[in-house]
Amino acid sequence: MKQDAFVLSRWMEGTGPEADTVISSRVRIARNIEGIPFPYLASDEQTAAVLAQVSQTAAAQKEAFDDFVYHRMADLSHQAKQVLVEKHLISPFLAKESHNGGVLLRRDEAVSILINEEDHLRIQAILPGLQLEEAWQEANRYDDLLETGINYAFDERYGYLTACPTNVGTGLRASVMLHLPALIMTKQVNRLLGALSQVGLAVRGLYGEGTEIIGNLVQVSNQITLGLTEEEILRNLYGVTRQIIEQEQQARQALLNDSRQRITDRSWRALGLLHYARIMSSQEAMQLLSDVRLGYDLGLIDNIDRKLLNELLVIIRPATLQLLAGKELGAEDRDLERPLQIKKRLNRYVDKTES
């Protein structure tokens, strides 16, 4: 199937609990098939056997997998794969380095099953707002379904066996994408995030491991996968997330009390720049989107919505931008195309505000 139109993923809807701080909640579980070496050591026939087992199981569970579309990585263009990465539906590793890699993607794009990634299977669910438990239920459901036709590599002592020792046990990595403008602006964030590593949680930028924090977006995830139950892992992350939300809200209120005019001005200026600028890097766009989002969440800007802000967060990325432009663009051309695409989507909102 060709991916030539941009569709919103479920997580971009901007709904769900705590949507003014938590952009999305994601859960992924790593699974491997007994008797087949992990993908990086597996032969071509062996990775093909993984694909065959998954597709047979999905075919046998026709009703449950009816709303899934299967994409072979080899059949997708570089751009199409990158769009899936930018939407957080597949990993950069699956896009670039996998052999016989593929993804089963649910039509609402809330569930994706990555095949022949670092592990044979990575079952992912991503939902808007703070919905860790719900995301786990989704992923767990497909784990149970796949298990009907697949013999998972499991050890009594070590749990689900994975290629990397950091995933072994539950194979569960849960994360939340947080928007923390006030904690970052008031420089409280380092203290807070430094403490997270001491309770077994990791902090990353928007696009995972090794990426920097831009647009005031921070990803918090569990590090420990062995020795805790899935419920304990989720509860820990949920509890800490609630605390971060509370601190962010307090910092926002303090900002509002101390410098309401400045924050209001900053948000509207950002909206103005997003609407009228002619050259824009993705980094600048991310920062401006964060300023507008803060203004919206504090009730200083209306006539805009979170769904649009989330959509913009993705469409300013290189591959998605080129998909929308319908042509390949170098970095300089992308900086010209970006404001055009943003303006197109903001028009209806900004005009309404001016009238």
Which stretches of the chain bind another protein, using CB under 8 A?
Answer: 32, 34-38, 40-41, 118, 140, 143-144, 147, 151-166, 168-170, 172, 194, 197-200, 202-204, 209-210, 223-230, 233
The tokens 């701080």 sit on which residue?
21
Q: Are 95 and 81 in contact (CB under 8 A)?
A: yes
Residue 132 CB, nearest approach to another protein (Å): 15
Q: Are 344 and 321 in contact (CB under 8 A)?
A: no
Tokens at 146, concatenated = 């796949």
**Count of CB atoms within 10 A of residue 74's CB?**
10
Q: Are 51 and 116 in contact (CB under 8 A)?
A: yes
Residue 106 CB, nearest approach to another protein (Å): 21
Q: Measured from the CB atom, is 229 or 259 closer to another protein?
A: 229
The conformation of residue 301, written as its DSSP 8-state character, comes to -
Pairing relationship of beta strands 172-179 and 121-128 according to DSSP bridges? unpaired
Q: Measured from the CB atom, is 204 or 293 closer to another protein?
A: 204
**Count of CB atoms within 10 A of residue 283's CB?**
12
Q: Measured from the CB atom, is 211 or 347 closer to another protein?
A: 211
Proportion of the chain in helix, strand, coil states, percent, rounded to 5:
50, 15, 35
Tokens at 135, concatenated = 């995301």
Residue 188 CB, nearest approach to another protein (Å): 17
- Residues 59, 66: Cα–Cα separation, whole Å: 9
Residue 40 CB, nearest approach to another protein (Å): 6
Q: Measured from the CB atom, is 73 or 153 closer to another protein?
A: 153
Residue 199 CB, nearest approach to another protein (Å): 6
Helix (H, G, I), strand (E, B) or coil at 38: coil
Q: Measured from the CB atom, is 140 or 249 closer to another protein?
A: 140
- Residues 199, 352: Cα–Cα separation, whole Å: 47
**Count of CB atoms within 10 A of residue 151's CB?**
11
- Residues 355, 186: Cα–Cα separation, whole Å: 35
Q: Measured from the CB atom, is 161 or 298 closer to another protein?
A: 161
Residue 200 CB, nearest approach to another protein (Å): 6
Cα-only R_g, the chain: 21
CA distances from 211 to 91, 243, 315 (A): 13, 24, 19
Q: Measured from the CB atom, is 124 or 310 closer to another protein?
A: 124
Q: Measured from the CB atom, is 244 or 315 closer to another protein?
A: 244
Q: Measured from the CB atom, is 38 or 142 closer to another protein?
A: 38
The DSSP bridge partners found for residue 355 are none
The DSSP bridge partners found for residue 104 are 70, 113
Residue 62 CB, nearest approach to another protein (Å): 20
In single-letter form, the type of residue at position 251 comes to A
